[in-house]
Amino acid sequence: MTIVRLGYVAMSMNLQNCSPSQTMTYAKFKTIKDREAAVEKLERIANSNLENCLRLLKHNKGNGVSFFRFSSKLIPLANHEELLDWNYIRPLKENLVQIGDFLRDNPMRVDFHPDHFVVLTSPNPDVINPTVKTLRMHYSLLKGMGINPEHRCVIHVGGAYDDKEQALEQFIHNFGLLPRGIQSMIMLENDDTTFSLQNALYLCEKLAIPLVFDYHHHLANHEEGVNWEEHWPRVIDTWQHSHLPIKMHISSPRNKSEFRAHADYVDPAMFMDFLRTINGSVEQIDCMIEAKQKDNALFKLIKDLKEYPEIEMLPGASFKIH
């Protein structure tokens, strides 16, 4: 038997005017002649994003959802080279504390997944420096909320730069240059084009990083003859020092011709194939739904899973598989 907890990504399809990713381009920023006023506008947008995050968390509580991914676009232009003097955390402190207080009163697993431009495989400092700044921003947001940053940020391995083996070694080198707090924040995910489950496991085992297994990505990108089931015990072992349950990503292909693209909803039969295989191997697993319909995909998946006799529903967005 394994307990499964479902989560969804960043925003709700049910709440109106509740985007946590409102933004402003630098071109628009420059049109405001008073720089102080322009920065204040950025701060208003960021605070609105955080207020919407709190609305989303309250929506989750009302629907029994206890696993959620924050948007990584909470602070527009946070790391822009022309705004390096902007201390963006200070004006957000009140809203960050409110989110942290809510999460303490209503325990919920939360984390981040920065965009693909966060890359640790590059030898180029012009790529690595923005990566470190972005990771530091996520760390500061978590600390501002009073959340332990350990294992709260999923990243991909990065680009191969025409030499996958060298890129893996470059990741190890660059990872060693990160502050210890940021190192402990990171989880790694296998991707759908370049770095497979085996590649990600190599890094996770070498650097003591938890591996977030993406089932859809593995189906799209794996070495010939490699079965993920054989490596599942190794995936579990990467979580042995984490205070959080093992985590995976679930999504379904849009169609055969666009296999890597995410569908609106999750195919329950595909998900059950995974669950039946891992059932009993862990006490609990948290499954992040990466589907276009966000929380609607979660609600539909719960409804679909009720049709399977081995599924025992628990309160909210959780269930047991027997």
pLDDT for 59-86, tens place per residue? 999 999 999 999 999 999 998 999 989 9
Q: What confidence category does residue 316 fall into, taking pLDDT thresholds of 50, 70 and 90?
A: confident
**Closest to 184 measured CA to CA, from 211, 156, 135, 149:** 149
**Start-end of H helices in the chain:** 26-30, 35-62, 93-105, 125-145, 164-177, 180-185, 197-207, 215-220, 228-237, 268-278, 294-305
| 116 pLDDT more than 90 | no
- In this prediction, residue 208 carries a pLDDT of 98
pLDDT of 27 strictly over 90? yes
Q: Which pLDDT band, with edges at 50, 70 and 90, does 301 fall under?
A: very high
Check if the beta carbon of residue 73 is closer than 8 Å to that of residue 23.
yes
pLDDT class of 144 with cuts at 50, 70, 90? very high
The pTM (predicted TM-score) of the whole model is 0.96
Please give the average per-residue pLDDT across 262-278, as a whole number.
98
Q: What DSSP element (H or E) covers 9?
A: strand 2-9
Share of the chain above pLDDT 70, in %: 100
Q: Position 60: which residue type?
A: N
Q: Give the single-character DSSP code of 253.
A: B
- Residue 49 and residue 97 in contact, taking contact as beta carbons nearer than 8 Å: no
Quick one: average pLDDT of 200-211? Answer: 98
pLDDT level of residue 213 (50, 70, 90 thresholds): very high
Task: Report which of 245, 197, 244, 243 is spatially closest to residue 222, judged by C-alpha positions.
Answer: 197
CA dihedral 250, 254, 257, 261 (to 10 degrees): -60
Mean pLDDT of 219-223: 95
Direct distance between the N- and C-terminal alpha carbons of the chain, in angstroms, rounded to an integer:
5
Q: Mean pLDDT over residues 13-37, rounded? A: 95
* Region 235-258 average pLDDT: 96
Indicate whether 237 pLDDT > 90.
Answer: yes
Tell which residue, 246, 251, 182, has the closest CA to residue 219.
251
**pLDDT over 90 (residue 115):** no
